[in-house]
Amino acid sequence: MRIDLPTALRFVPPVRFLFAFLALTSFLRAAVPLDLAAALQTFRSDAPHGWSFTLTTVAEGKSTVERSDAAKPDFDRWSLVQKDGRAPGPDDLRDYAEARSRRSRGGTAPKLAEQFDPGSFETISITEERATYRCRLRPGEARDNTASFLRATVVLHKPTQTIESIELTNISTFHPAFGVTITEMRTLMTYSLPDAEKPSLPQLVSTRVRGTAFIFKSLDAEMKVTFTEYTLPKKR
């Protein structure tokens, strides 16, 4: 969501950020269920800054195990632990370093919660512990031909005001590009509940795609990303 501010405020950063925060808070409360609005204000889909963790990715019969060390500088934080179930060799380490370098130059991915269409939320179910909501998605960029065919289902843990899961699914077959047909697209993201020692942390991201390119080429794919071994680096 973009909030246009008066020109004068652009030269007073503290006032600008306060104004933007108040405007966002008012906007969310006006269009989104109150309990969900409160959770979305602090929600982040990635791991919080300051936490080290292990990332395991399995897709197409291959796997990688990476470690993010929060005690190291950003450019040196990630390391390759395993490649396809074995210790990485020199070529694996070189390819990994090059891929990580390209990824870091690609910029920051859009925040998923900012793509929720606030005027489209509907309540699916409510219990004492959890509330489930569904909404449409807004395009993440100008050429986004996928968002309008997706719906987000958000599960909220009410006692802790924590988002436990977000599921993105398509509502019909669609064509994101010429010659490409997607019949199924599903992504599920799950998060732990906070406790006295840890905040809510990402646990699992699983994706499933079914489709074809130019009729004869299959685009069927599945991927699972698991977050484990969360630790806080010791202060030096």
27 vs 83, more confident: 83
Binning pLDDT at 50, 70 and 90, where does residue 236 land? Answer: low
Q: Read out DSSP for 9-52?
A: GGG-HHHHHHHHHHHHHHHHHHHS-HHHHHHHHH--SSPPTT-E
What pLDDT shows up at residue 18? 39
pLDDT tens digits, residue range 4-31?
433 333 333 444 433 444 444 444 444 7
Percentage of the chain exceeding pLDDT 90: 66
With b for 16 or more beta-carbon neighbours within 10 A and e for fewer, the 86-106 pattern comes to eebeeebeeebeeebeeeeee
How deeply is 191 buried, as exposed, middle or buried, from its count of CB atoms within 10 A (0-12, 13-18, 19+)? Answer: buried
Chain-wide mean pLDDT for the chain? Answer: 85
What ranges do the domains of the chain cover? 1-31, 45-236
pLDDT tens digits, residue range 136-166?
999 888 778 899 999 999 999 999 999 999 9
39: pLDDT strictly greater than 50: yes
The residue type of 190 is: T
pLDDT tens digits, residue range 90-130?
999 999 999 988 776 544 455 788 899 988 999 999 999 99
